[in-house]
Chain A
Amino acid sequence: MAESLEQLYQQVILDHSRQRHGAGDLEPCDGESFQVNPTCGDEVTLKVRLSSDAEGVRIASLGWEGQGCSISQASLSVLHDLVDGRPVEEVEELDALFRELMHGRGQPLGDEKLERLDDASAFVGVAKYPARIKCALLGWMALRDALVQARS
């Protein structure tokens, strides 16, 4: 099997595309977003609920429903695990890091940043395929939009 294809579809991505964490958990929420990728018709509805404590605002729960390719579905599943329960401020930093990874054309991001991205760092191979970057970003776009709704 060609190396680049294995790099794109890392095992963690294939696993998340089959076991989709957070999929279907659409409880009442503070913010909701529907996003569609017009080139392929992939779509997602994502909902977030926020909570506040002494340390600030954090994501109390996140759920989504969608249909799409393995990259978009796995990205949503990884996103769920990465941001559920985290302070919004940190989530925004992770969002920026993931974007940096996607627009890096497969260049190394540095160990510290990759470590922060955890499973999301597995999407590094996607950055080499410009047509697929939108797939990986679909869930993150929905999250950013839902957070804006939730905080307005």
Chain B
Amino acid sequence: MTSAEQAAATAGSARPLDAAELAALRADFPLLGRTVRDEKPLVYLDAAATSQKPQAVLDAERAFSSRHNAAVHRGAHQLAEEATEAYEQARAAVAGFVGVDVDELVWTKNATEALNLVTHAYLNATLGRGGAAAAEFALSAGDEIVVTEAEHHANLVPWQELCARTGARLRWIGVSDDGRLDPETFDVIGERTRVVALTHASNVTGAISPVADVVAAARAVGAHVVLDACQSAAHLPLDLHSLEVDFAAFSGHKMLGPTGVGALYGRRELLEAMPPFLTGGSMVETVTMESTTFAAPPQRFEAGTQMVAQTVGLHAAVDYLSQVGMDRLAAHEERLTRRLLDGVAGVPGVRVLGPTEPQERLAVVAFAVDGVHPHDVGQVLDDSGLAVRVGHHCAQPVHRRLGVHASARASAGIHTTEAEVDAFIEGLHRVNSFFGVAGGEHG
């Protein structure tokens, strides 16, 4: 069974949220109560860009700042102790939430920084930093790094830069017409491959990657696997140890947490061997005028004063998600995916970019409307209070592969209702009618 099948099976066995549960849950999100564009109720369908936050997250940040604020891992006063404890408790909670050990989780400001931390470990090792222990990260000409055509720019551009600086060659797994990774192209993983970096779920097509298959191919040639878990972390039960990836990155703000905090998971032996990325205060052991020795992970990778209140907020966010239950959340969202796909299929001239079956995909539905530019689609939806994303969603190559410059995208979250999905479908009909295409009439 692939990891995607496991996730689907887990979701399949759980009960979706019922109407009363969903109503109670929605009341936890203060922002959902506001109106937009002339007093229209907000329908927030941009969870894949950033999630809204439950009151518990806002309260946790405020309580920390009101009562316990101090710099962590320095100072012997009581506040410093409390702040350090809150910071490390948050690390333990988030590590537990994604199925890893506490010392394998490094705080970063977001997933982008986490992925750059990894690429710079390879770069710095290639330059000789980290000594013999870091040798397995050193790259040379002829080495290959494999990514996929479905990547967000955050898991593509840093690897391009790494290749440009080290002489390694960038190769990629292709995307098939239905927006899934094309298994026919997995053979780009070969003897020269040193790293395979892939997304767990595409932020455009919603397709869940067959991680187990890619990990098996990478293992067979001794390559590391780096997983971008930004889209999956708030939508699927996540167990990074059982996925057997070497690194994984995710952002707090996409999983009900604050902006300004994200995390990198790294397998313990690898983090111990890696040279640091950002350097400065807090990540050192001994500093002389000539040289410095570095702290053990995870502190080695946490230079400078950290975003403590945000880690506390993220702690509250993962507690909230766990309380709902990730299996039940996944079941809820699978039902929404089905309704989204069925609804979109009934609107003339609308093409989904990605799998049109709800299995092995998330409730992230990007689409093109014949004869109407995505910006204009988004504008008409916005006028009805429907917040969707428009543009290339920081993933130009997958758009190009699927034959469009840009798209509009509706993405559901924990708080999305079936009535909101229906309002979105109604909005798509209005788009056609407003621009007088697909048989509709202007006005």
Contact = CB atoms under 8 A, between A and B. Distances in A.
Contacts of A5: 379-380, 383, 434
Contacts of A9: 376, 379, 434
Interface string B29-47: 0000000011000000000
Contact of A129 (B372, B374, B379, B396): B379
B165 interface: no
Interface string B358-395: 00000000000000111110011001000000111000
A92 B312 CA distance: 54
Contact of A40 (B37, B374, B434, B435): B374
A87 to B, nearest CB: 33
Interface residues of B, number: 21
Interface in A38-60: 39-42
Contacts of B390: 40
Contacts of B405: 41-42, 67
A136 to B, nearest CB: 11
A41 B391 contact: yes
Contacts of A40: 374-375, 390-392, 406
B396 A4 contact: no
A62 interface: no
B37 to A, nearest CB: 7
Contacts of A1: 434, 443
A128 to B, nearest CB: 11
B241 interface: no
B374 A69 contact: yes
A70 B380 CA distance: 12
B442 interface: yes
Nearest to B375: A69
A106 to B, nearest CB: 14
A113 B435 CA distance: 30
A135 B375 contact: yes
Interface residues of A, number: 19
A41 to B, nearest CB: 5
A39 B406 CA distance: 10
A148 interface: no
A39 B374 CA distance: 12
Contacts of B38: 2, 4
A41 B392 contact: yes
Contacts of B375: 40, 42, 68-71, 132, 135
B178 to A, nearest CB: 22
A41 B383 contact: no
Nearest to B405: A41
Contacts of A135: 375
A8 interface: yes
27 contacts: A1-B434, A1-B443, A2-B38, A2-B383, A5-B380, A9-B434, A14-B435, A40-B375, A40-B390, A40-B391, A40-B392, A41-B392, A41-B396, A41-B399, A42-B375, A42-B405, A67-B405, A68-B373, A68-B375, A69-B375, A70-B373, A70-B375, A70-B376, A71-B376, A132-B375, A132-B379, A135-B375
Interface of A: 1-2, 4-5, 8-9, 14, 39-42, 67-71, 129, 132, 135
Given A2-B38, A41-B399, A41-B405, 4 more contacts: A5-B379, A40-B392, A69-B376, A70-B376
Which 7 A-B residue pairings sit nearest by Cβ, starting from the closest?
A69-B375, A69-B373, A40-B391, A5-B383, A41-B405, A41-B392, A70-B376
